Each structure stands twice: as C-alpha cells, then as structure tokens.
Chain A
C-alpha cells in the first residue's frame, strides 16, 4: 500500500497550470453565452416551425416525381454530378500539392510554404469561391464543379500528406538493392502503399462534397440549393419539404455506398 501512496505523492502537481486553463475556459464560455438572445423569438417563429414540420410531413409529391429539367430528380442528379466531377478535379489538383507539402519528399521550407498555402485555401469560405468563380464561368453548374474542386483541396491534400509521410521507405531500399529502376520502384514500391489510402480519402471527401454541393445553388452555382432556398424564402414549405426529403435520401444512400466501398478498400 505504501508504494502506491508514494507513487501518488510523486505525481507532478501542476495546480497553477490547471487552474489557469480552467479559468480561461470558464471566462471564454461565460463570454460566449452572450450570443443567446430570445428577444426575436415570438409567436410567429413557433408558427413557422409548425409550418415547416407540416411541409415535411406533407411534401409536394408532384414535384418530387415528375421528370423535367426543373424537377427535383434532375436537380439531384445534377448535384451529384457537381460533387462527383468536383471531387475528381480536387483529387487531381491535390496530388502534386500533397507531394510538395510532405517533409520527407521536399526540403523543409518548401513543405512549410505549401502547408501555409493549404491553410489559406482551406480557410476561405466555400461561398466566397463560388461567388468568385461565377465571374469566371458565368452562373451555372460549371462554377459549382470548380468550387467543389478548390474546396476539396484543403482536406484532401492534408490527408494525402499524412499518407505520404507514413510511407515505408524500407521497401524502396530493398528494391534499390535488388536493382529496380525508378519506374519500378514507384509502380511496385510506392503506388500500392498510397493508392488505397488516397482512394479511401477521396471517396470520403465525395461523401462530404454531396452536402457542400447542395448549398452552392445559394450563390447561383447550380444544383438543388437554389430551388430549396427559393421555396423556403417564399414560405412554400411543402415544396421545401419535398426537396429536403429527396436530398436527405440521396445523401444517406451515398453515405452507405461510400462506407461500403471504403470498408472494401481497407480490407483489400
């Protein structure tokens, strides 16, 4: 029993450190509570919440199932296409950036600079890219593809870098020692290690991009977002409800599919 007590006594006591952290956390939390205000909440807010609920329970089935260029089905497929192409564009752009940011491939200053660039790319909000790219391509789904492509870079490149930095170089050394050419080293030494991780990360990002693509319509970059916002702003809750239902089902399906594919990739 004495040894246990002695060990307990011997543990470092950093009471001031802990006190300071706790104090800072409490102050920050206390400050943030200032964001709460119920002064704008009134009877009409409650009424609207009720209406939204009614709209979701009684969706506009006509809009959901007809087949034309304005229908939900068409717009959902378009949203899917935006996310899909955008992910591919982002993936292609991320690979060189990831190699430039990996500290075991390039010198440290280069890696650090590329990382800084990635942080800047990641921090600029998606909608800002959307608004800027619309000036390049004119409003439409094309701008959406480019927006998704650029916003994907931040996360994709970061996760690719992690994979590159964890490369097992022993394999490459042994390949050099038995006389493999550079191409063979890349094809049989590096590709098998990286490809499955890259693919898995990209599929995960595609899953996220579905959600991002569904709000791009807000700035006119195509997809289901625009009709959803219009329906909500004009209080057509049954239309908004049917769009939301379609969107939720599509996103759930894709999540299911992407989970299956990634599980298969990991198991090999």
Chain B
C-alpha cells in the first residue's frame, strides 16, 4: 500500500543494473505518533504549564518524609513480615501450579491442539487481570487479610511463570526426547528425563525473579485489604503522617534490595 503511494527510488548500479530502494516509513510513523500524542493529551488533560508550576509540591512531600519516623519501626516489622510471608507463599504455590499448566500448554509435548490452545488462553486471560483486581475479588471470597493476598499473588505467578516455562519447553531440544521414546520409554518418562533437566535451571531462575517482583507487588495489595504493609501506607498517607510513610519506603527499599541481591546471586549460579 505504502509502496504504491510512494514508489521506491530507482538506483542505477555501476554495472548498469537497476535496483529499487524502498522509501523510508519514518514520516508515516511520526505522523501516527503525533496524532496519537495529540489525542492522548486531550483525553488526559496533560498540561505542561501546570506541571512545571506545581512539580515543587511533589518534592515538598519527599522533603516531609525526611527524616523518617524511626520510632514507627515496631508497628512496621509485623506488616513487613506479613508482606514477605504472603509473597513467599504465593510465589511458591504459583510456581508449583505453573508446571502442569505450562506442560499442558506446550505444543511439542501435548499432542492435542485443543488442549494446548485452551491452556494458552487460560494463561493469557489470567495475565491480563491486574493483581490488585484479583486481590480485591479474593478479599470478597477469602475475607480481609493475608490469605487474599496469597491467592492474588499465586494467580499472577501461575500466569507469569507458566508463560515463560511453556516457551522454554517449546524451545527445548527435542532430540533426546525422541531418542528416549524410540527406546520404548513412555512420553511421561521421556519428558522427565529429556526435557525436564533442560528447563529446570530456567524455571527456577524465573521463579526466583518472579518472587523478587512479587515482594514489590505485595507491598500495595494491603491497599484493598489483602494484608501486609499496604494498609499501613494507606493509613499513614490518609493521616498525612509523611515521616512514617518515609520509614515504610526506607524499610521496603532495604528489604527489596537485600532480596534482589540474594536472588540475583542464585540466578547467576543457575544459568
């Protein structure tokens, strides 16, 4: 279509041969981007003037958070441990549950195309739901508290680890699998001995990575009543107790940094 509107530029080579260089599509892409940005600015009431004038307010809030309220440490530890507990259990259950889902969704292991398509759809549907929404639904079903958070994190982990795992299984070398099948092993045995060792390091590494992310996700789940430190954040911001918010953020940053360092160490060893 584009090539018909703007015909390719002919270039004559020294040998006398005619070659065509396609016109660049950059103007079209830039045009689309500008139109999209224009309408987005209209829809979201984006206002650079206001931003420049009032951005100071943002740093005023940060200023109030420093120095953090050290004495709120005692109330904080319980909630922080709750958050860690939730994300650890959720990641564990989620990555265990992800295995059957991923196996059922990999087209090179399961022969039936219907089952593969079904499980792939389930995984991508699960992935579209924002964690906070699942957590809210879970609080209706399981009551307020960490249990709802665990359910939300588990569902997210299943979708995330499940997707990456079935991609790994589909990319695995199927040579050993076929060789073992030809030796008379069942498909389950062949999978266990040929595909499983190939994807295991990747699977463990993804699960650890997902756990890192889940600690950060779990921090806000309390906002809808699903337990953990989010509830404290909500209360402290509501009371405009910014030094305590600063303390919570500091504690979160330290915890997340520690967890990321440890998990990165093990992920490097795995791969």
Q: Hey, which chain B residues are within 8 Å of A52, CB to CB?
A: 137, 140
* B54/A81 in contact, CB under 8 A: no
Given A45-B140, A45-B143, A136-B55: A35 in contact with B249 (beta carbons within 8 A): no
Q: Hey, which chain A residues are within 8 Å of B146, CB to CB?
A: 35, 37
B88 at the interface (CB under 8 A from A): yes
State the CA gap A110–B266 with chains docked (Å): 27
A180 at the interface (CB under 8 A from B): no
Interface of A is mostly: helix
State the CA gap A146–B82 with chains docked (Å): 30
Binding site for B on A (CB under 8 A): 28-29, 31-42, 45-46, 48-49, 52, 77-78, 80-82, 84-85, 88, 119-120, 122-128, 131-133, 135-137, 140-142, 144-146, 211-212, 214-215, 218, 222, 228-229, 232, 244, 247-248, 251-252, 255
Q: Could you tell me the distance in whole angstroms from the C-beta of B35 to the nearest C-beta in chain A?
A: 12
| A215 partner, pick from B47, B130, B150, B253, beta carbons under 8 A | B130
B44 at the interface (CB under 8 A from A): yes
B223 at the interface (CB under 8 A from A): yes
Interface residues of B in 216-242 (CB under 8 A from A): 216, 219-220, 223-224, 227, 230, 233, 237
| A136 partner, pick from B39, B57, B216, beta carbons under 8 A | B57
Q: Hey, which chain B residues are within 8 Å of A248, CB to CB?
A: 125, 128-129
* A45/B219 in contact, CB under 8 A: no
Binding site for A on B (CB under 8 A): 36-37, 39-41, 43-47, 50-51, 54-55, 57-58, 61, 82, 84-86, 88-89, 92, 124-125, 128-130, 132-133, 136-137, 140-147, 149-150, 216, 219-220, 223-224, 227, 230, 233, 237, 245, 249, 252-253, 256-257, 260
Given A49-B141, A128-B245, A218-B132: A136 in contact with B54 (beta carbons within 8 A): yes
